[in-house]
Amino acid sequence: MQTHSFAPLRKKINEFTCHGKVRVIHPIAVKKYIEVYDTCGKLLYKRKSPVQGSSWEIFDALLHAPEIPLIRGVTVEIVLADITEKRIKNGKGSWRRKGISIFDKELSVFHESIVFSKPRDFLKFIPFKKGEEFTVASLAEQAEIKIIAARKALYVLNKLKVVKRIGKKSNAWIYIS
């Protein structure tokens, strides 16, 4: 289970694969609910976080270790779920949360699991036909994601050899799948 970046796995993953197949599970919170309790355990309030996740967050995790899905015997799985983050108002937490500490996270609702057993499985993120040219901006527009997310995705997909840079048009790289 890898909850953040895959970078710490870079040095360890080869040793793990010597002992058998490895499945790296990366949970992504689609919706997050926050419950705040007092020190006695009484619920003070509950709210929905404005932050929403999507399957595109896998590229944030793979950004500093894009070679992991290329390793033989490694499967990457993303689990999309809603979570409830439980916090306690004890004055010891981060100043950003005004002294409220996080003490637990629970899975609320399981949505789906997406398994990538080979690099070509990542093609499901590309909304273009095979052989069709596209740029970061056109991917962002077509997939309805932010430019920065499209840039990270194409960086990782290029490293995985799922897409290929074929040139430049003005100041934009042109990709083909």
Q: Is the pLDDT of residue 18 over 90?
A: no
Q: What are phi and psi of 72, to 5 degrees?
A: -60, 130
Q: Greater confidence, 93 or 48?
A: 48
Q: Greater confidence, 79 or 16?
A: 79
pLDDT band for position 31 (50/70/90)? very high
Query: Cα–Cα distance between 173 and 137 in angstroms, integer?
Result: 10
- Cβ-contact 50, 33 below 8 angstroms: no
Give the pLDDT mean for 151-168: 95
Give the pLDDT confidence score for residue 11 in this predicted structure.
85
Report the alpha-carbon angle 58-81-139, nearest 5: 35
Joined tokens for residue 129: 């036909």
Q: Greater confidence, 158 or 93?
A: 158
pLDDT band for position 97 (50/70/90)? confident
Distances (CA, A) of 164 to 2, 87, 111: 28, 45, 32
Q: Is the pLDDT of residue 93 over 90?
A: no
Give the pLDDT confidence score for residue 16 in this predicted structure.
87
Give the pLDDT confidence score for residue 74 in this predicted structure.
94
Helix, strand, coil percentages, rounded to 5, for the chain = 30, 40, 30
pLDDT tens digits for 101-117? 998 999 999 999 999 99
123-177: CATH topology: Arc Repressor Mutant, subunit A (1.10.10)
Query: Cα–Cα distance between 32 and 47 in angstroms, integer?
Result: 9
Q: For the chain, where do the domains classified as CATH 1.10.10.10 start and end? A: 123-177
Q: Is the pLDDT of residue 30 over 90?
A: yes
Helix (H) or strand (E) holding 65: none
Distances (CA, A) of 147 to 6, 61, 66, 153, 168: 22, 17, 19, 10, 17
Give the pLDDT confidence score for residue 98 in this predicted structure.
84
**Full-model pTM:** 0.85
Give the pLDDT confidence score for residue 96 in this predicted structure.
85
